[in-house]
Structure 1
Amino acid sequence: MSQLDPSSMSRRQQYLETYRLTRQSDPRIGLLLLGTFVVAAVVGFAIFWLLPGGGIFGWIISVVGALLLGALAVMIVFGRRAQRAAYARMEGQPGAAAAALTMLRRGWTTEPAIAFTKQQDVVHRVVGPPGIVLVGEGNANRLRPLLTDQRKKHERVLYEVPVQEVVVGAGEGQVPLPKLVRTVMKLDRKVKPAEITDILNRVKALDAQRGKIPLPKGPMPTSMKGMRGNLRGR
């Protein structure tokens, strides 16, 4: 996995790095994107050619429309394939859920590894419209008491704020890593935007009581935050 920091790259470097990493797990991505561009460009040309007009102006509009539609289709397909490849690389790694949670949009705040075990079972915290979301990854049996303990601590400080739990994994009642962000964003909105700032200030006080804790040992996946615009096709 690349050791480069995506947030320090230019937009062009981010696209190249995203393509390089995607190609490692999806070797045919180049042919797929080329085919997507050709098909979309042909469709775009036909659509614009059928519009009223003609002559040289009609040709220019049709060619420009074909190029724009082809580029748009490539960005959409590339974004989806790159995101799928990124999740595949992170799957099973300690901290993969924290890396995935960086894909959350503005209005969400993630604090990784607020609690963990020696076996690298980890609990992350997300503050957003649903309130507090505790995201656990690791062994379900070891996570249960860890999540319960964190829920109680947060409810003591934020007794009127909803605290919800999500466990990442492939087991029953768990959320697969690729669906984590979507699942969190679909949770019921129970907190007004104006209240989130107050919640963040109060969890800072809770974190101060907890003190500085060392992160679990082992490789941590590269954050997806710097590349999320590319992965969304923007």
Structure 2
Amino acid sequence: MARAKSDPSKPTKNPFKRIWQVYQTVKTVDPTIGRWMLGAFVLVMLVGLAIGLLMGHPWATLFVSLPIALLAGMIVLARRGEAAAYRQMEGQKGATLGGLSAIRRGWYYEQEPVAADAQRATELDNAAVVFRALGRPGVVLFAEGPHGRAAKLLEKEKKKVARVAPGVPIHTYHVGSGEGELPVKKIRWTLTRLRPALSKEEMSVVNKRLKSLPGIRQAIPAGVDPTRARMDRKALRGR
């Protein structure tokens, strides 16, 4: 009986094969990754050898340096792989989601835009869109697309959020690679440096209120205007 061939596109549980798969993927967008990894490995080994020569035990320090050198190579692979991924995202519609996905915990964010403004339904590539995230610093709105339409859409979404969550800080950014824009790779860095303003309990309540807002695929129920809901700080704390 012929042995079934494995599918290279499927993730493997073998850590060495996984590293090789990651390396191959990164190499397609960063052909120099091999030289950088080798450089990091050699540098650590040379430092270890120099220390060993000074101590009179070169072989012992080389033995200790080997796993550290391998770790250095893996760190270079991870860092340059992340940088290459961000370079691919730049200028792509929905790049904001790539930046938000790098955040490990402590934030709620939507998997699709909460608002969009296109001249025609078929012109989504040139549309202005807004993504929304919620964390302890408050609500953060990220716009993509042409500046004029994106600014109007941001202001509209900011007013909607302010009506359902008065008193909650609202931060706005325009994501892109141009002057005055927030690069995708700096989204995580920017969010982690915002000052906390909400407790976890308040975040949970605000998240529920935000989900009541109509999105780009969600119609407003007849006779109900969710943007007219009011909330104060006492309500947020559940008092």
8 Å CA contact 1:123–1:135 kept in 2: the answer is: yes
Written as runs of structure 1 = structure 2, the 5 A alignment for 1:1-234 is 10=13, 12=15, 15-47=19-51, 59-60=59-60, 62-111=61-110, 112-118=112-118, 119-206=126-213, 209-210=214-215, 212-213=217-218
Poorly superposed stretches of 4+, deviation over 6 Å: none
CA distance in 2, matches of 1:49, 1:202: 65
Structure 1 unmatched runs, 5+:
215-234
Q: Which residue of 1 aligns with 2:224?
A: none
Task: Select the structure that is richer in helix.
Answer: 1
Instruction: Mark the CA change 1:101 to 1:16 in structure 2 (over 3 Å): closer, same or farther.
Output: farther
Q: TM-score, normalised by structure 2?
A: 0.74
Structure 2 unmatched runs, 5+:
1-8, 119-125, 220-239
Q: Deviations over 1:129-188 (max 9, x none)?
A: 211000111111110111111111111111121111011123332112222221222222
Paired residues, number: 202
Instruction: Mark the CA change 1:29 to 1:159 in structure 2 (over 3 Å): closer, same or farther.
Output: same
Q: TM-score, normalised by structure 1?
A: 0.75
CA distance in 2, matches of 1:73, 1:121: 41
* Structure with larger Rg: 2
CA distance in 2, matches of 1:85, 1:131: 30
Identity of aligned residues (%): 36
| Deviation larger for 124-133 or 65-74 | 65-74
8 Å CA contact 1:48–1:65 kept in 2: the answer is: no
RMSD (Å), alpha carbons:
2.7
Tell me by how many angstroms 1:213 deviates: 4.8
